[in-house]
Structure 1
């Protein structure tokens, strides 16, 4: 029996060895990758920070070649360091086709303003600018625009898509139960157009974000709000018009702009800052040591920053390789347990950027956070969205910090199913369902709820909603009647939520960290450590090899593609929506539509 076990174990290692050999060929066969690390940065230099692509909350675990999406975490860390670095005299922001949320812009704006207070000169260059990129650029002392470029700051728009008619064409019907007048999470599937309640809530949200946008641009550019609104209402602004409206200072091409700055600061120009130089293996023997390396740990008292990004689900979806992220409750519970047992962690900042998701998963995380805060202070920093289930887990904290443009609230519950009987008919598929028990087919996709089933399901949804309200009232120390009025599934901006006492402070991640240090009585120099900590690539490859062992070595190519998002290999990224969440949970705390104000 032992011999058979050993043979099986050896077979299970073959896919892993295949990955290692493939990586050996990749690393050791390339003279480019084995090049020596660059020289230390020059003194009294200019730092260039590029903004292009999608700005994610946190970088993928393995981005060795720097070609994947940039992260807010890295940019904030760089700017935090720059503010105290006497060798960096100026910052140049270069914008490409970048996707930013307004909450992310506020995070970066605060960091840039700290650099300005530290006497760092800030320059910004745009080939062309959209609403978010220009708002970030407006923090600069000097803004340059390409002579043939344009500013597309022609107002804000918010679009909601409704799929009821499309589903009907393919024979699918969505049947949902929702709590609260404004809980519109399922409207994308059950309606053909926007409800009056949803329009009311979104109009107020858009008004608030637009007012903040105009006020911020006016403040940064030294203009009146009336002049900023007038410029916006001009529509697309060609470069000369943008300068005439005093929205930019110079019309110049990038090479000339760079040259003029370099002449003012001739000592050096830095493109990479605050990141470690990767020493790659040059032989297959050194590769094994390289693959098993783990990130360095921090000893001594510190603040943990735990990232909770994406939809909230019960179990992991295998997204650790840099795909679309999710907050897996089982994985989060393990991380929170490890944090609780680490005596060096004196405070936790939970960074929430989530539209919500599974009601069960949200409650499990909430309960774990409540236990943790008995030992250490827990501060929530809300990102672009912290709504529904994202707000549910936030109220477990001692303190909540949100940006003025954070989308939050949506205190409500939905649940339901998709009925695909019509689709079966179109495809010529027949199904026969045998049941035992009165409610065995309550979530069957072959028909809608009957009267008793619907009443039973609504009762369950309302119980879940009542529990949600109670926990918000307890966490926010508000009367239950007040919470009922603020709930109803209504979304709020961070600024609106602050006025309603749904959050405690307006600010970003840096502000939340300062609060955590203060509550934990730690000095300003206390380190910040991000969690969950990434595993070594050897551990990741082993886990993936175990999962894909039965598919053979050739099926491990996708594993390498996921492990190396910086390489020009196909990335497997899938959108996570309500329909997908229904596969795992019929009861959800989810904001529903992907709210992106542009």
Structure 2
């Protein structure tokens, strides 16, 4: 009797749930349909605030409930920002652009790409003004493109040159008995250097100095051109921190005037010759200006590979061979897709996943031309998947190269001994087993080293074949060394310096087509279970709590350490987390 009663209750509960879900979705659909469209009014000024984290590609969440209830976090993507500025060039309703951003949530290469597009906007004769209370160095670099730069009278500019800091853990390991067992190939492959020593190696210092100077030279050249201040003088200003207050910044010609925000608003009104309507970048994109309209039949597929490379499916934040290879196959089989641009923004990761993606690209290259566009970073495994393209285009400030391999395994033998833990093993064979609680034995080390050497040799051969170079020539510039895009052009690792749009145009040229439209891949579709388990407000709440508890800098370190759980197998990864300040 109890069984029958429970069965009836379960059935009723099921139908009640279906009934409630039906009305929920109906309400959601009604809410979705009631959104007022964004209209770009006449005499508008486009407000550029780039404080939010910017990805190369940020597709809209396809969870319908999240969309309708507006739970999806607003995400800025580089492609939409570039498209919006491109559309604003010819939009008669847009009189000019106001740059007013607290921070710049883009990497250096992304920032340079946005700045270059703003340069194009200025060529139309429309104005660009910039205002801030405090300019960070990257923010000032972006804002220096403006016709006029304004600063709060009690504000300041951070203009000190570039620097980078790396933490070393050898003393910590010795003190607490928790260490990383390391096997690597490449004298510049310093991803694992902090576990082996407590000071920076000569080779690592050499490569960091080299790419920082290369990036800084790009920054100075762009600022020099816009502000009409020589590179030599800009370096002197940086040495002496001449942007430390509004007075010194104006005397140094880093700004035009020191004024308050109300005075800045009056200048905007004067520049527009009428009281302007202000429209945010996000709203301008929502109005449809985040894409370039085209009815062309031919397509160029842009496949975005962003994040660390992991073995598996992957998602919007991690490159997995599952989703990426599916996108490559889809573009290859589409008869209207005439060429493919692989946009790489990755420090690398799993060597196995990199090889699987490389293979899919190799198969595709026999049918359609492939051009790689490099973003902020396309290094190690990121370069591995780029190496066999017909052509490679990088931004001057792209971080690339790092052709090297390593394996790192945690070991707590000394720590376990210190706290009285002893591990005993029993095995059926005398194989090269590894235990977290025992020192790495020579047999295991030798086999791991052999695997690292094999993958390094494969990696170098992939690059040599793709770049039409000898093994010896690639090996000379490999060894895990990091290069900027500007340096990589000189040593043959890339073919051209330019933007994603330049890469698209080059792909169209290789495909011998003139009229085309761009189609973005991949599609990150979730099944119903995934959608329910990944509501945006749950994700954002988790991030908010962690950021408030840890602070922004510690939260970044937490993400770095947390991502180590994805490091399975031998890694082709960037030598370290680059945080340029």
- Check whether TM > 0.5: yes
Query: In structure 1, which of residues 238, 253, 264 is the aligned counterpart of residue 260 of structure 2?
Result: 253
1:141-160 matches, within 5 Å, as 141-160=147-166
Shift of 1:509: 1.1
Aligned counterpart, 1:302: 299
| Partner residue of 1:314 out of 311, 316, 326 | 311
Shift of 1:584: 4.9
Q: 1:172 to 1:70 in 2, by over 3 A?
A: same
Q: Deviations over 1:145-204 (max 9, x none)?
A: 111110011121111111222233432121111112211111132321211111111111
Match of 2:344, SS state, is strand
Deviation (angstroms), 1:580: 4.8
Match of 2:522 among 509, 529, 532: 532
Native 8 Å contact 1:357 1:581 kept in 2: no
The residue that corresponds to 1:136 in the other structure is: 142
Report deviation, 1:427.
Answer: 5.0
What is the aligned partner in structure 2 of residue 40 from structure 1? Answer: 39
- Corresponding residue for 2:479? 488
Q: Does the 8 A contact of 2:72 with 2:536 survive in 1? A: no
Residue 58 (structure 1) shift: 2.5
Asked whether the equivalents of residues 329 and 362 of structure 1 are also in contact (C-alpha less than 8 Å), the reply is yes
For 1:372 and 1:11, the matched residues in 2 are separated by 53
- Name the structure 2 match of 1:460: 451
Indicate the SS of the match to 1:61.
coil
Higher RCO structure, 1 or 2 (CA under 8 Å, sep 6+): 1
**Hey, what's the Cα distance between the residues in 2 that align with 1:11 and 1:378?**
56
Report the CA distance shift for 1:42/1:297 in structure 2 as closer, same or farther (over 3 A).
closer
What is the CA RMSD across the aligned residues, in angstroms?
Answer: 3.5
Asked if 1 retains the 8 angstrom alpha-carbon contact of 2:136 and 2:158, the reply is yes
Question: Would you say the 8 A contact 2:191–2:576 is kept in 1?
Answer: yes
Counterpart of 2:4 in structure 1 is none
Cα distance change, pair 340–145 in 1 and its aligned pair in 2 (3 A): same
Q: Report the secondary structure of 1:148's partner residue.
A: strand
1:262, CA displacement in angstroms?
Answer: 2.3
CA contact (8 A) 2:345 2:375 kept: yes
> Cα offset for 1:594?
0.6
Residue 279 of structure 2 is aligned with which of 270, 273, 288?
Answer: 270
User: Contact (CA 8 Å) 1:95, 1:127: kept in 2 or not?
Assistant: no
Compared with structure 1, are the counterparts of its residues 16 and 534 closer, same or farther at alpha carbon in structure 2 (3 Å cutoff)?
farther
Aligned residues: 551
8 Å contact kept, 1:171–1:422:
yes
* Pair 1:507-2:506 in alignment: no
Q: Could you report, residue by residue, the CA deviation over 1:509-542 in whole angstroms, capped at 9, with x for unpaired residues?
A: 121111122222333x52222211243xxx4433
Q: Is the 8 A contact 2:413 2:439 kept in 1?
A: no
Does 1:497 find its partner at 2:488? yes
What does residue 290 of structure 1 align with? none
Q: How does 1:558-569 map to 2 (within 5 A)?
A: 559-561=534-536, 565=540
**2:51 aligns to what?**
52
2:39–2:287 CA contact under 8 A, matched in 1: no
Query: For the residues of structure 1 that align with 2:429 and 2:294, how far apart are their CA atoms?
Result: 55
Aligned to 1:91: 97
- What CA distance in whole angstroms lies between the structure 1 residues aligned with 2:517 and 2:137? 35
Residue by residue, what CA displacement relative to the aligned partner does 1:527-570 show, whole Å, maximum 9, x if unpaired?
222211243xxx4433355xxxxxxxxxx5xx324677599976
> Partners in 1 of 2:320 and 2:230 — Cα distance?
46
Specify the alignment match of 2:550 in structure 1: none
Secondary structure of the 1:237 match is: coil
Matches within 5 A, 1:204-353: 204-235=210-241, 236-265=243-272, 266=274, 268-271=277-280, 272-276=282-286, 300-316=297-313, 319-320=315-316, 325-353=317-345
Deviates more, 1:495-504 or 1:194-203: 194-203
1:561–1:570 Cα contact (<8 Å) kept: no
- Contact kept, 8 Å, 2:38 with 2:283, in 1: the verdict is no
Which residue of structure 2 lines up, in the alignment, with residue 171 of structure 1?
177
Name 2:3's counterpart in structure 1.
none
Q: Is 1:475 matched up with 2:466?
A: yes
Q: TM-score, normalised by structure 1?
A: 0.84
CA contact (8 A) 2:133 2:156 kept: yes
Moved more, 50-59 or 386-395: 50-59
Any stretches of 5+ residues in structure 2 without a counterpart?
A: 1-6, 62-66, 548-554
Measured against aligned partners, the alpha-carbon deviations of 1:88-136 in whole angstroms (never above 9, x if no partner) come to 2211111113343221121111111111122221111122112111111
Tell me the alpha carbon deviations over residues 437-487 of structure 1, each in whole angstroms, 9 at most, x when there is no partner: 32241x322223322222222122111111111110110011221111111
Measure, in 1, the Cα distance between the counterparts of 2:325 and 2:13: 29
Matched, 1:422 2:414: yes
Check if 1:359 corresponds to 2:351: yes
Answer whether contact 2:296 2:516 (CA < 8 A) is retained: no
Shift of 1:144: 1.1
